[in-house]
Structure 1
């Protein structure tokens, strides 16, 4: 139990640290950040439950006002911005990414890439586009056109999540809880 709590806190901190990487702001109001890589890694390394809990802890801290999102954003105002769908989708994305890795018996790099792609890109985009459409007053198809610029970077992050998870599995197999 104590080990699980430590991993959950550690990965919540990882997401926060990845927010320190300078963001690239786009016209849609949703920045390109490294934090979605942290969300992907929560799932691919910790598994569905622990990964989702790590991201919920992170979002709880953001809601309390800690400036942990990229650009130093935090507080309840985040939940009325164009990023709301992505923020709300983070724990679901980590859960799905972890579930894919847990249920897929392919090589860890393949399972982790697939989990990061399905959870960290597809699921996260469903939430993100929906949030953008609601906040910006656009139709879902119009809002989905705004995220096209994010796809190449998110595909790269999914690949990175696969390779990082594989590397961790080789160095410390007991640390990859999604395969435990």
Structure 2
């Protein structure tokens, strides 16, 4: 090997080792939106929140593989002011769910977040950190939700709840339904 070829190969190897993992991994060729199940955040603390999503993968080979999902947190909805970003594995053993525990954020502040896999980008989510310890606001608007059966229809109450912009939403849980899901759920709405 001549000196020039050696230097070119060495430069390529050095460059590849400095790229983020998603830049050199093979993202899956996606047939549909991998974020069709949505995104969520919760468990706010004064310096962080938990972000969550679960991938929907259509092809059997994709369902067996671990995928690297990128995520970003920003001050603005356009993601011009990125605060944190990173990668998280979506493991087949965990149903390709992604769970990111953020730290290092400012207390009582709104943030925008999103997930990315290959060229696919999730919808934008908005979350808020808890107030600092001992810094309780004068008023706190809390909403709560409980048992719903998804196949019984669309829940306009969620749209109304979001429009009210509560400081905190508590989900009190669900119960296990005592009757089977009907074969045709389209008539239940």
Please confirm whether the aligned pair reaches a TM-score higher than 0.5, indicating the same fold.
no
Which has the bigger relative contact order, CA under 8 A and spacing at least 6?
1
Larger Rg, first or second structure (1 or 2): 2
Quick check: which one's strand share is greater?
Answer: 2
TM-score norm. by structure 2 comes to 0.25
Quick check: which one's helix share is greater?
Answer: 1
TM-score norm. by structure 1 comes to 0.25
